[in-house]
A and B are shown apart, each in its own frame.
Chain A
Amino acid sequence: AQSVTQPDIHITVSEGASLELRCNYSYGATPYLFWYVQSPGQGLQLLLKYFSGDTLVQGIKGFEAEFKRSQSSFNLRKPSVHWSDAAEYFCAVGRNTGNQFYFGTGTSLTVIP
């Protein structure tokens, strides 16, 4: 069965530090992978997506993610975190039937000054 695991429930980083959020997926074929961000009081916004080609994908707000098939991972990274990046981050994989998605349980990011 398809699934998405985000092993870190909550992460705290200092402003200016680097960030890596982990995502592992379980899928039988080449997955379609997404990272969404949810700022407080807001809906989810797409950061980036991968469906083929270059395994390092660039997204909005300075984020990038790398697809590693051997590790079944799609980790999100940012070299220097800003206070405005404090939010909840969701990894998602596209299902094999229709336009549906499995979402991970989310990682809450706190940024300290």
Chain B
Amino acid sequence: EAGVAQSPRYKIIEKRQSVAFWCNPISGHATLYWYQQILGQGPKLLIQFQNNGVVDDSQLPKDRFSAERLKGVDSTLKIQPAKLEDSAVYLCASSLGGGDEQFFGPGTRLTVL
């Protein structure tokens, strides 16, 4: 069984630029999560989808971050414009349903200069 795929693996941008991350979850998983993990901290949930609907986005900085999950499969997370404090690893995970075991992708390491 293929795991959760993410791209790119690394990205370096300058502040005020835009960036987008892509995630392909495990086939059949209804729930998809995007996390931000700042160095030395645990993963912080940014947004959680159930199929193509948003379950929780209370910690998503909506003035600059956006995410979509068209057709309830792949998902894209965008930052526009980026700030220095957005430097982090962005993790995508999926699960059969909310409250189930989450399977994580390898993450995208973003550096904002």
Decide if A and B are genuine partners.
no
